[in-house]
Chains A and B, each alone.
Chain A
Amino acid sequence: MSDTSRAEYCAIAIADCFADDGEIMGSPMGLLPSLGARLAKLTSNPLLMITDGEARILQGAPPLGVTEDVVEGWMPFRLVLESVVTYGKRHVMMGATQIDREGNQNISAIGDWAQPKRQLLGVRGAPGNTVNNKTSYWVPKHSARVFVEHVDIVSGVGKTRAEAAGPAATRFHDVRRVVSDLGVFDFEGPGHTMRFVSVHPGVSVEDVQAASSFAIALPDGEVPTTREPSPGELMLIREMLDPRSLRDREVPPAGASA
């Protein structure tokens, strides 16, 4: 039996999101996305460009929590907004406090915008990201409160709403994948709705449906299981990129109580 942890399956599923991107900027938001993007840079896509989360473009893929590396360029926030997002050579993986069947995402606030029950981050760059460059999402704890029928405040824009806004909104719209602690999803279901790409080992389709507020579309045939990591990938995750196992804090190993 495999000793691969759930967090490790998440890391390789995230890395696979960046595998075919070629020479563009990867913008992972948060811990597991950073691990996955750095893993992709060391394996499937060495051309991927990453930053230290601030203004430096790093040539290598240092361990989590480390930002020292050979600096290959300058990427202040102003250039991210005007020369990367709008230029389109970027794949961002954002979090999602809510995400819905049609791929709309919310990081702004919970409840009514005018007087929210709980203020979150604000829309940040999500509206611009989703109509300008490739966008994926990471959800560390898949639940019916996150996977909702309709998000409260549309921050990231799904395909159907982009289509309603017109050709300028759809021309570069490319919401790719959602990776959660239970599985991987895209928006190739009927009418650009969420569809299973794979479930992680130990997770059933029924488990995922029970943890979602809407029915996720099924592909033709069986829902595949997320692929196994190679020994090399496991070595990179465990010994190089995340020797302190920070990944297990975000996605606890199966059997560990939350």
Chain B
Amino acid sequence: MPSKVMSAEDVIGRIEDGMTVGIGGWGSRRKPMALVRAMLRSDLKDLTIVSYAGPDVGLLLQSGQATKVVYAFATLDSIPLEPLFSRARQEATASFREWDEGMFQTGLRAAAQRLPFLPVRAGLGSAVLENDPTIRTVTSPYDDRQELVAVPALELDVALVHMNRADQFGNAQYLGPDPYFDDLFCMAATEAYVSTEQVIDTAGLTVDAALQTLLLNRTMVAGVVEAPNGAHFTACTPTYERDEKFQKAYATAAKSPEDWAAFRERFLSGSEQDYQDAVLAFGQETS
């Protein structure tokens, strides 16, 4: 079987301007940040980002590369609000679709199942339907005749997710407590790319972990990127927890243009290796 291992830059090369990109994880948890940082280094533009949003979305809004965002919330978890996202909303620098969390999952599932929509109750009576007038309702064809929300499929051109371990063929596993929605993101996409802490031999995946941790199989995955510490500064339990000190520095810097420029210069102006080196130095300074 051919290997699907590639570089982060290879993945970015598969993404085109104007595409819809789904990003896995949840808030500030197991985000494919190394791939997001590779996007920040690229000339990609006019992207629609679909995400249970955290710093992934904040950074792509700040860079101006995300011009549309579909989300249900944006948070850093231990810090309730995502500051770069909040600024983009308040200055209306992009366009947004805000859905209920369950609607969002249903939209991914509809796309994963290649359906145009799926019915849900969530959203009825709320401002979601007013603020996203593209959403329509559907009437049950059965005797109850109930009117439900017809959640449109969240079809993705590309999905980016981060897993604890993978093999070279695209089989990938999470070792933390929650799979989030990463399999749905992959199945909702034309092509899905997995960054991972470690590429290991296939037989190793189940040596010390339960079968059920194998969330992604190779039919769902187009490429695998080995990216140690690649979810930093978000959590990648149990490999590492969220880097709270670094996240606080990020959130603090995001409050002013001057501080942000300094933060970006220090951490986001070079390669992924430069980033990891700067993070290491930051950790030593603050320990």
- Residues on A close to B: CB < 8 A? 54-56, 74, 76-78, 81-82, 85-86, 108-109, 113-128, 130-132, 153-157, 161-162, 164-169, 172
Contact = CB atoms under 8 A, between A and B. Distances in A.
Interface stretch (B42-50, B118-126, B188-196, B221-229): B118-126
A131 B125 contact: yes
Nearest to B128: A127
Interface string B111-145: 00000000011111111101100000000000010
A153 B131 contact: yes
Contacts of B80: 121
Given A119-B90, A122-B74, A132 B126 contact: no
A256 B92 CA distance: 40
A127 B100 contact: yes
Given A85-B102, A121-B73, 10 more contacts: A74-B177, A76-B180, A77-B101, A82-B105, A116-B90, A122-B53, A123-B128, A131-B125, A166-B147, A169-B124
Contacts of A54: 177-178
Nearest to A125: B101
A131 B147 contact: no
Contacts of A131: 121-122, 124-125
B102 A76 contact: no
B169 interface: no
A77 B126 contact: no
Contacts of B233: none
B89 interface: yes
B123 to A, nearest CB: 5
Contacts of A117: 90
Interface string B133-163: 0000000000010111000000000000000
Contact of A121 (B81, B121, B179, B181): B81
Nearest to B132: A113
Contacts of B250: none
A126 B100 contact: yes
Nearest to A158: B125
Interface in B203-257: none
B60 to A, nearest CB: 16
B127 A154 contact: yes
Interface residues of B, number: 42
A-B complex: 9 closest residue pairs judged by Cβ atoms: A128-B122, A127-B126, A55-B177, A122-B73, A157-B125, A169-B124, A165-B125, A119-B86, A119-B89
Q: Which of B80, B101, B126 has the most CB of A within 10 A?
A: B126
A114 B178 CA distance: 33
Contacts of B180: 76-78
Nearest to A151: B127
A168 B123 CA distance: 11
B105 A86 contact: no
B121 A128 contact: yes
A255 B131 CA distance: 43
A161 B123 CA distance: 11
A93 B144 CA distance: 31
Contact of B92 (A77, A114, A128, A167): A114
B147 A168 contact: yes
Contacts of B199: none
Contacts of B128: 123, 127
Contact of B179 (A76, A85, A166): A76
A108 B85 contact: no
Given A128-B100, A128-B102, A122 B127 contact: no
27 contacts: A55-B178, A56-B177, A76-B177, A81-B105, A82-B105, A85-B122, A108-B98, A115-B89, A117-B90, A118-B90, A119-B81, A120-B81, A121-B74, A121-B75, A122-B72, A122-B73, A125-B101, A125-B102, A128-B122, A131-B122, A153-B127, A154-B127, A155-B127, A156-B126, A162-B125, A166-B147, A168-B146
Contact of B125 (A55, A120, A164): A164
Contacts of B131: 113-114, 153
Contacts of A82: 102, 105
Contacts of B148: 168
Nearest to A74: B177
Contacts of A113: 98, 127, 130-131
A172 B146 CA distance: 13
Contacts of A109: 89
Contact of A119 (B85, B124, B179): B85
